[in-house]
Structure 1
Amino acid sequence: MTHRKLYLGPLTDNRRWDMVTIRPDDVFVVTPPKCGTTWMQTIVALLLSGDPEVEPELSVKMPWVDIRIREMSDVAARLEAMTHRRSMKSHTPMDGLPLHDQAQYICVFRHPLDAHLSMRKHMRNIPMPWFDHWYPEDDVEGVTFRRFLDGGAEGFDGDAMPLAHILQHYKAAKALSDRPNVSLFHYADMKRDLAGVFASLSHQLGTPHPQDVMERLVEAATFDHMKQNADRYAPSGGKGFFKSDTAFFQSGTNGQWQGVLSDAEVAAYDAMMDAHLTPEDRAWLENGAAG
């Protein structure tokens, strides 16, 4: 953990990275939850394989190292035994990860309010009650949104994904964005121009493919295709981890918070965003390139 910030919660522990020997060609997908993690992991799997029919098996082949529900010795041994180019997932901000000068770090962000609304739905689709008091099913008093605004970036709060955790992710990634091996992507840009994201990431990873192959890879990563094949693309899909693999993908839309949050809630969110980000940073974090 030397020179790395500690992120320790009921679900995640970034000290687990101490057991992973980083390779120069490793690819890290680093995101706050519900910001396009699985989507970006799938894109990476498609680009690394060049096969539109690749079986991602994200939980096994591209593991979430931080999560504490799997024995880290087993995860580390599985990673060490891999002979192909590896990719790993993390919900830890960049200041809590091991940094390698050549490994690629792909950071993905989404409008914080869309991520929050997606997290609400996600909590209803998993069989773990750890965060039920943050995300009560019948939230008539608005507890969930108050905790989204009040929660801290670390510890128990961090795993529940309050706004402070998202902001910490963004600031930590941006602080390293001048490095050639650290890239920031946005969910909204993935929705607007998936082919462009593929082209950019292919260049970043050094994985060129013929145009006809790229077109097939892009088609395989469209939201509709992934949702229609949810048992293949959802993490641990087909294994009963989620109540519904299809529901894992939900609608994938932007702006889903509009008409759900009250004017007072939106005003409180606006105040916090303006207090912590410049107008330029806020515009990008909410809307990507269109910001």
Structure 2
Amino acid sequence: MDQTTIAWPRKTRELHNHHMDSTAWNDFRFRDDDVIVGTYGKSGTTWTQQIVGQLVFKGATDVPIHEISPWWDMRVIPPQARQAVEAQTHRRIIKTHLPVDALLFSPKAKYLYVGRDGRDVLWSLYNHHANANQLWYDVLNDTPGRVGPPIERPDPDIRRYFRTWLEQDGQPFWSFWDNISSWWAVRQLPNVKLVHFARLKADLAGEMREIADFLDIDIPDAQWPKVVEHCTFDYMKAHAEEMAPMGGRVFEGGAKTFINKGVNGRWHDVLSPAESLAYERMAVEKLGPDCARWLMTGEE
């Protein structure tokens, strides 16, 4: 692909709510080797950050990924956390939950976008929301600068929670379809790679090899087993304090609640066939058949 003729994505809007403030990117000073991990949320974000961190640091055991790889567009990040990123001398790993058109995009950075079937996303999102403690609500709702209504405690009925999320375009969070479709539209760019939760589950080592190749990272064969082991769910669960935001202090049960189950399909025995079909039909309507198939299966 001739990079001189590429129409690179441009930022055309801002997104603000209880969680995010997209203006945080407007004065971000990119480095040419930055790695941006993007997702809607609860799609394998932390998993992919851990993978990149282990590739960058060659399997080190003392990599607090939640500290070195912040969610840049989260509005309540303290200034010192942003300053710490700017002071980093290693290859930086930054997280975003923005759609492409609300993100400042660099032709030089590398972008990994992680997808997951929306029903699995919702189940993980519900666990995240239902286990948030009062500190979580205080930080999000009471920190100055919030735009829009506060986030409230979730509906105790997960099926109603799912239907609200589906029928009201991602409420109480943000649009799922806008996020997915914006990244799908730029998947052919030379510095964008799609990653899928189901493929990571099926072949972690193989998918990690592809990510390493995309990022131009060479891991010696002798170190490779350790790098992969540090990205397994069991390892991440055992080291949850290094993965979870604020070390897990904003969740009932702490960091191990944030690193929950790492499985798909929990919705199968809960949603009715009609509810599941409504999701599948909306996915095709909003995304088109090719993207909807990728989102469900990981197959392009």
Cα deviations by residue, 1:177-220 (Å, 9 ceiling, x for unpaired) = 11111110000000001001110111111110111211110011
How many angstroms does 1:240 deviate by? Answer: 2.0
**Counterpart pick for 2:48 among 40, 52, 57:** 40
Alignment partners' CA distance in 2, 1:281 and 1:3: 22
* Aligned-partner SS, 2:124: helix
Mark the CA change 1:264 to 1:131 in structure 2 (over 3 Å): closer, same or farther.
farther
Q: In the alignment, which residue of structure 1 is the partner of 2:71?
A: 64
Q: In the alignment, which residue of structure 1 is the partner of 2:222?
A: 212
Would the aligned equivalents of 2:55 and 2:227 in 1 still touch at CA under 8 Å? yes
**Counterpart pick for 1:54 among 62, 70, 73:** 62
Cα deviations by residue, 1:227-266 (Å, 9 ceiling, x for unpaired) = 12222332332x6232221121222111111011122311
Would the aligned equivalents of 1:25 and 1:85 in 2 still touch at CA under 8 Å? yes
Alignment partners' CA distance in 2, 1:277 and 1:51: 37
Alignment of 1:94 onto 2:100: yes
* Aligned-partner SS, 2:73: coil
Could you tell me which runs of 5 or more consecutive residues in structure 2 were left unpaired when the two chains were aligned: 1-9, 138-149
How many angstroms does 1:224 deviate by? Answer: 1.4
* Aligned-partner SS, 1:51: coil
Alignment of 1:1-291 (within 5 A): 3-58=11-66, 60-71=67-78, 73-127=79-133, 128-129=136-137, 130-132=150-152, 135-137=154-156, 139=157, 142-152=159-169, 157=171, 160-161=173-174, 165-237=175-247, 240-244=249-253, 245-289=255-299
How many angstroms does 1:38 deviate by? Answer: 0.4
Identity %: 32
Could you tell me which runs of 5 or more consecutive residues in structure 1 were left unpaired when the two chains were aligned: none
Alignment partners' CA distance in 2, 1:279 and 1:8: 30
TM-score (norm 2): 0.86
Which contiguous aligned blocks of 4+ residues in structure 1 show a shift greater than 6 angstroms? none
* Aligned-partner SS, 1:211: coil
TM-score (norm 1): 0.88
What's the Cα RMSD here? 1.9
Mark the CA change 1:282 to 1:57 in structure 2 (over 3 Å): closer, same or farther.
closer
Counterpart amino acid of residue 184 in structure 1: L
Cα deviations by residue, 1:43-62 (Å, 9 ceiling, x for unpaired) = 0110011134132242x211
Alignment partners' CA distance in 2, 1:76 and 1:57: 14
Alignment partners' CA distance in 2, 1:250 and 1:152: 25
Would the aligned equivalents of 1:26 and 1:103 in 2 still touch at CA under 8 Å? yes
Alignment partners' CA distance in 1, 2:104 and 2:269: 41
Counterpart amino acid of residue 47 in structure 1: L
How many angstroms does 1:33 deviate by? Answer: 1.0
Would the aligned equivalents of 1:274 and 1:282 in 2 still touch at CA under 8 Å? yes
